[in-house]
Amino acid sequence: MEVIVMFIKNASELGLFKGVDLPNQSPTVTHLCYADNIIFMGEWSDKNAVSLSRFLREISRLAGIINCGVGSFPFVYLGLPNRANLKRVKFWEPVVRKFQKKLSSWKAKTLSFAGRVTLAKAVLGSLPSYFLGVFRAPKSVLNTLKGLRRSFIWGNWNDQ
């Protein structure tokens, strides 16, 4: 990340890349970094597009030298899929799998009815809420989650 930041700062200082000017004499923003991710921000211009394209080619070349992988779309960022069509059920499968894993049959057998209700509420309230807070789930996914919760509470796990 430090090398990428160094490249973008140099490009900005040389006038090859124009960042976003913030109000009130604040600094110009060219990028934001989080963990191993970076977002470039700049003026919408041909010059910036060409500079960024050249810059990314150089980064790709350097990544190849040190044997770093190249990502592709869709990818997961902060636990959420990016550029995935979340109107499609298949992109909700990880949420359903996590839900099933938490509400497993062995837990249903070892808990009282009140314990199963409490666990189902806790899982239903926390696991999908991050996704559901950002994306609108298809009705079939909501029905699947509801069915899993209902089966767990009543002890009818895996059609038993």
3-state secondary structure 138-157: CHHHHHHHHHHHHHHHHCCH
What pLDDT sits at residue 105?
Answer: 67
Kindly state whether residues 32 and 97 are assigned to the same domain: no
Is 106 inside a domain boundary?
Answer: yes
Judge whether residue 160 has pLDDT over 60: no
Kindly state whether residues 85 and 59 are assigned to the same domain: no
Judge whether residue 18 has pLDDT over 90: yes
List, in sequence order, every residue forming a beta bridge with 37; answer none if it has no partner: 34
Kindly state whether residues 60 and 89 are assigned to the same domain: no
Q: Which of 33, 65, 97 is the last residue of a domain?
A: 65
More confident residue, 160 or 84: 84
Kindly state whether residues 89 and 154 are assigned to the same domain: yes
Kindly state whether residues 91 and 43 are assigned to the same domain: no
Q: pLDDT digit string (tens) for 44-66?
A: 999 999 998 888 888 788 778 88
31: CB partners within 8 A, 6+ apart: 4, 5, 8, 19, 38, 39, 40, 41
| 46-65 helix and 2-13 helix, angle to the nearest 10 degrees | 150
Q: How many domains does the chain have?
A: 2
What pLDDT sits at residue 50?
Answer: 92
Kindly state whether residues 91 and 133 are assigned to the same domain: yes
Domain containing 13 equals 2-65
What pLDDT sits at residue 47?
Answer: 92
Judge whether residue 157 has pLDDT over 70: no
Judge whether residue 158 has pLDDT over 60: no
Query: Which tokens in the block code for residue 108?
Result: 């249903």
Q: pLDDT digit string (tens) for 129-147?
A: 777 777 888 899 889 988 8
Kindly state whether residues 99 and 152 are assigned to the same domain: yes
Judge whether residue 148 has pLDDT over 90: no
Q: How confident is the model at residue 17 (pLDDT cuts 50, 70, 90)?
A: very high
Q: pLDDT digit string (tens) for 19-42?
A: 998 888 888 899 988 877 788 889
What pLDDT sits at residue 84?
Answer: 67
Q: pLDDT digit string (tens) for 66-115?
A: 887 766 767 777 777 676 677 888 888 888 888 888 777 667 778 888 88
